[in-house]
A = this chain, B = another copy of it.
Amino acid sequence: MSSIIHVEKHFNASDTVRDIVIGMSDGLTVPFALAAGLTGAIAASSLVLTAGFAEIAAGSIAMGLGGYLAAKGDYEHYFSEKKREESEVKELPEVEKNEVSEIFKEYGLTDAEIKPILERFEENPKSWVDFMMKHELGLEEPDTKRGLKSAITIALSYIVGGIIPLFAYFFISDARKGLVISAIMTLIALFAFGFVKGKFTGAKPFKSAFQTIIIGGIAASVAFLLAKFIGG
């Protein structure tokens, strides 16, 4: 019981929460900033909407597929390293024993105290490999299905985040007026997202909300000024 309580105190954001955060922070920021930027150069909401949707499509696919490949890469990396450790434990046991010793010597253990650990590992090479994977290389076995889940979660979060800033341009044909409503809606969404993100990741919620708004605000302002300078 005390062990369960203890584990819960150390918060680690789950993979899904992390994927939602990855997708939504860019989804809420980039299409908003792009739409705001274009408003600096273009008067018609319809064009801003076209560009905004093209950006959401491009961004969600690029980030989603990127997430898929990252998860697949982690998976392949884990198993290629595992294969390597398995052959090293078999073919270079003395080198691997030295590595185990070095890990424990770092924490002040003596050779005499390390010896039984080495003996135990020699008796059970599977445990030895697992130990090297986790404690020498710091790698955890990844979930095989994570790639697809990760891709879908990131892409959907990007789309949901990206549509919020575009709403206003649907109903208001003058892009500059649309921008005002879009900015208000997006700032509220950025605040809520930053706040919830802070809750989930163990950061201070208000600080997180404030930081999220600052990023969106700076990105949108620079994009606006740049587009006005180039296009206006």
Contact between chains at A218 and B42 (CB < 8 Å): no
Q: Mark A112-125, 1 if CB is under 8 A from B, else 0.
A: 11001100110110
Contact between chains at B116 and A223 (CB < 8 Å): no
CB proximity of A55 to chain B, nearest CB, Å: 5
CB proximity of A151 to chain B, nearest CB, Å: 11
Contact between chains at B109 and A10 (CB < 8 Å): no
Q: Mark A64-98, 1 if CB is under 8 A from B, else 0.
A: 01100100010011001100100000001001001
Contact between chains at B137 and A108 (CB < 8 Å): no
Query: Which listed residue (B108, B113, B117, B218) contacts A127, Cβ 8 A?
Result: B108
**A interface majority secondary structure:** helix
Contact between chains at B33 and A203 (CB < 8 Å): no
Contact between chains at B37 and A54 (CB < 8 Å): yes
Contact between chains at A37 and B58 (CB < 8 Å): yes
Q: Please judge, given known A-B contacts A62-B215, A138-B138, whether A50 and B41 are in contact too, CB under 8 Å.
A: yes
Tell yes or no: A220 within 8 A of B by CB.
yes
Q: When chains A and B are docked, how far (Å) is the Cα of A104 from the Cα of B135?
A: 11
Minimum CB distance partner of A103 in chain B: B135
Tell yes or no: A211 within 8 A of B by CB.
yes
CB proximity of A119 to chain B, nearest CB, Å: 9
Tell yes or no: A43 within 8 A of B by CB.
no
Q: When chains A and B are docked, how far (Å) is the Cα of A62 from the Cα of B227?
A: 16
List the B side residues contacting A214 at CB < 8 Å: 65
Q: When chains A and B are docked, how far (Å) is the Cα of A128 from the Cα of B216?
A: 42
For the complex with contacts A34-B54, A107-B127, 19 further pairs of A-B residues with Cβ separation under 8 Å are A6-B95, A30-B58, A33-B61, A34-B51, A37-B54, A37-B58, A38-B51, A38-B54, A41-B47, A46-B231, A49-B230, A51-B227, A53-B230, A57-B226, A58-B220, A58-B223, A66-B215, A107-B120, A108-B127
